[in-house]
Amino acid sequence: MKNIVILILLVLAVPAWAQQSYTLEQCIKLAMEQNLQIKTSQYNSDKFAARKSEATSDYLPQVDINGNYSYYFDIPTQVIPAEAFGGPPGQYIPAQFGLKQTISAGVDATQLIYNQQLINGLKMLSTGKNITLLQVVKTKEDVAYNISVTYYNLENVYLQSKYAADNIATIGKLRGTTQTLFDAGLAGRSDLDRLSVTLNNIQSAYDNLEVAKVQLYRYLKFLMNLDLNTTITIDTSGLTQRPDAQLLQGGGEVDRTELRLLNNQISLLNLQKKNALAAYLPTLAAYGSFSYTGYNPDFKFFQTLNNDYYRASLVGLSLSIPIFDGLKSKYQHDQLKWDYRVAETNLQLLQGNINIEVARAVENYNLQYQQSIKLKDNLDLATRVYSDLQNRYQQGLVGIADLLTSESSLREAQNNFSGASIKLKLALLEYEKATGTILNENN
């Protein structure tokens, strides 16, 4: 008995486990965590952070430990003036200096003190890091937009499927009634055939909608990085209700990621211009060395003459002052100057396009808002007319032609309303995209 109860509980639990319903906000939230495009963009940003750390390490001390062992089978010979040792002028004598075996070990260290190009490079990497972070935001916005469009299309398909299913049930019932009348000789064959044609057309449209639903769900799961075999549903409550919205006034704040990206790119170009001129500035570094060296006239590994090692140490400064590079840095600066002007012009173009997009989005949304209200009222009216004609047809007061004309008008009203509903949502989405508030609205 206990096992039977457990089995029943498991069976009851399967639908909740196997099929999850998602709101639009939940879909977007999950995609922000799992979408592969977002992950790739984030990885690129993290990689850039590592590049900045790598560049910063150039300003830290550079320390090397070195060791050397060498053995000469023949010590190099040098020629020196014989006069230095009391010989006749103009003559030279060969001489060998040093011993065959040399062992040395030491530590070398350098510390960069000033390099303006490196300083500018670090600033450029900071700006570049900001650009990669903004690219992550832009990727998230694109994913949120694609999920919203897919979700709204699914809602539209669900709404059309509902209307189609209701119409199939209604026409099927009427066809059954007409079949009965036909069998009794009270209805013509043409009446029955016309209902059959209408029923087949609606069934075909319904089948197409079911295929579209499967395809949209597949793409939605891809955007959320879910297993394509996972069964999910969307929240379809309130699809047939009057739109809960209001007119847009426009004039709000615009915070487009594209604007911030281009501003950062302009800042980067400005730093690159400065860096090109910084090639003419001097660089200064400190260095030091400390070592021990031992010698031996014979091959005796790790054994030195008299077991002695001789110490050597030094510190110093290295100054490098560029004098002439063939005007290479100047020409690099000139190219960057034009790139900078192009970027500033692109910024003005982008701002102008954004202003147009926002104005167009406001106008389109307000139009769709008014249309959706009118089309909802029209749908309610067409539903009442069709319901009245159904009753009158069953009472024999109207013919099949009037009923099918009303049914066609009802289907048109349904399609118009479902189309208006998705257009209204898409219009609001375009406004959010134009003003840069997609993520603000959904997360």
Residues of the chain with CATH 1.20.1600.10: 19-60+115-281+325-442
Tell me the mean pLDDT in the region 158-162: 91
Position 153 scores a pLDDT of 94
| Main-chain dihedrals φ then ψ at residue 253, nearest 5 degrees | -75, 135
Tokens, residue 219: 């793409």
Position 19 scores a pLDDT of 61
Where is 326: in which H helix or E strand?
none
Q: What distance in Å separates the CA atoms of residue 392 and residue 386, rounded to the nearest whole number? A: 10
Between 294 and 83, the more confident residue is: 294
Under DSSP, the state recorded for 40 is H
Tell me the mean pLDDT in the region 309-321: 93
Averaged confidence pLDDT in the chain:
87
Q: How many CB atoms lie within 10 A of CB 377?
A: 13
Position 307 scores a pLDDT of 79
Longest dimension (CA), the chain: 148
Tokens, residue 92: 């030279």
Q: How many CB atoms lie within 10 A of CB 105?
A: 15
Say which range, 22-36, 94-108, 368-382, has the weakest mean pLDDT: 94-108
**DSSP structure string for 218-263:** HHHHHHTT--TT-EEEE--TTTTSPP-------------HHHHHHH
Tokens, residue 379: 């749908």
Tell how strand 283-296 and strand 310-320 pair up.
antiparallel
| Main-chain dihedrals φ then ψ at residue 78, nearest 5 degrees | -120, 150
Say which range, 148-152, 161-165, 187-191, 346-350, has the weakest mean pLDDT: 187-191
Tell me the mean pLDDT in the region 128-136: 94
Tell me the mean pLDDT in the region 28-56: 91
Position 14 scores a pLDDT of 41
The tokens 């390490």 sit on which residue?
57
Question: Phi/psi class of residue 129: alpha, beta or left (left: φ > 0; alpha: ψ in -120 to 50)?
Answer: alpha
In the chain, the amino acid numbered 130 is N
Tokens, residue 132: 């990669």
Taking alpha carbons only, the member of 133, 110, 123 closest to residue 56 is 123
Percentage of the chain surpassing pLDDT 70? 93
Taking 90 as the threshold, does the pLDDT of residue 313 lie above it?
Answer: yes
Tokens, residue 333: 């600066």
The tokens 């469009």 sit on which residue?
149
Tokens, residue 373: 């209200």
Q: How many CB atoms lie within 10 A of CB 218?
A: 11
pTM of the model: 0.81
Under DSSP, the state recorded for 297 is S
Tell me the mean pLDDT in the region 100-115: 92
Taking alpha carbons only, the member of 417, 340, 404 closest to residue 375 is 417
Where is 52: in which H helix or E strand?
helix 36-56
Taking alpha carbons only, the member of 438, 359, 440 closest to residue 148 is 438
| Main-chain dihedrals φ then ψ at residue 112, nearest 5 degrees | -70, 130
CATH 3.30.70.120 fits 19-60+115-281+325-442, yes or no: no
- Residue 310, beta-bridge partner list: 293
What confidence category does residue 5 fall into, taking pLDDT thresholds of 50, 70 and 90?
very low
Taking 90 as the threshold, does the pLDDT of residue 251 lie above it?
Answer: no
Position 17 scores a pLDDT of 39
The answer to whether 71 and 79 have CB atoms below 8 angstroms apart is no
**DSSP structure string for 80-129:** EEGGGGT--TT-EEEEE-S-SEEEEEEEEEEEEEE-HHHHHHHHHHHHHH
Taking 70 as the threshold, does the pLDDT of residue 243 lie above it?
Answer: no
The answer to whether 442 and 144 have CB atoms below 8 angstroms apart is yes
What confidence category does residue 204 fall into, taking pLDDT thresholds of 50, 70 and 90?
very high
Burial-class residue 60 by CB neighbours within 10 Å (0-12, 13-18, 19+): exposed
Taking 50 as the threshold, does the pLDDT of residue 151 lie above it?
Answer: yes
What confidence category does residue 156 fall into, taking pLDDT thresholds of 50, 70 and 90?
very high
Taking alpha carbons only, the member of 98, 93, 221, 211 closest to residue 150 is 221
Q: What distance in Å separates the CA atoms of residue 200 and residue 81, rounded to the nearest whole number? A: 116
pLDDT per residue as tens digits for the range 325-357: 888 888 999 999 999 999 999 999 999 999 999
Position 3 scores a pLDDT of 44
pLDDT per residue as tens digits for the range 422-440: 999 999 999 999 999 998 7
Say which range, 12-16, 235-239, 367-371, 384-388, has the weakest mean pLDDT: 12-16
**DSSP structure string for 343-401:** HHHHHHHHHHHHHHHHHHHHHHHHHHHHHHHHHHHHHHHHHHHHHHHHHHHHTTSS-HH
What confidence category does residue 56 fall into, taking pLDDT thresholds of 50, 70 and 90?
confident
Q: How far is CA 339 from CA 125, 266, 343, in A?
A: 18, 9, 6
The tokens 């939940």 sit on which residue?
26
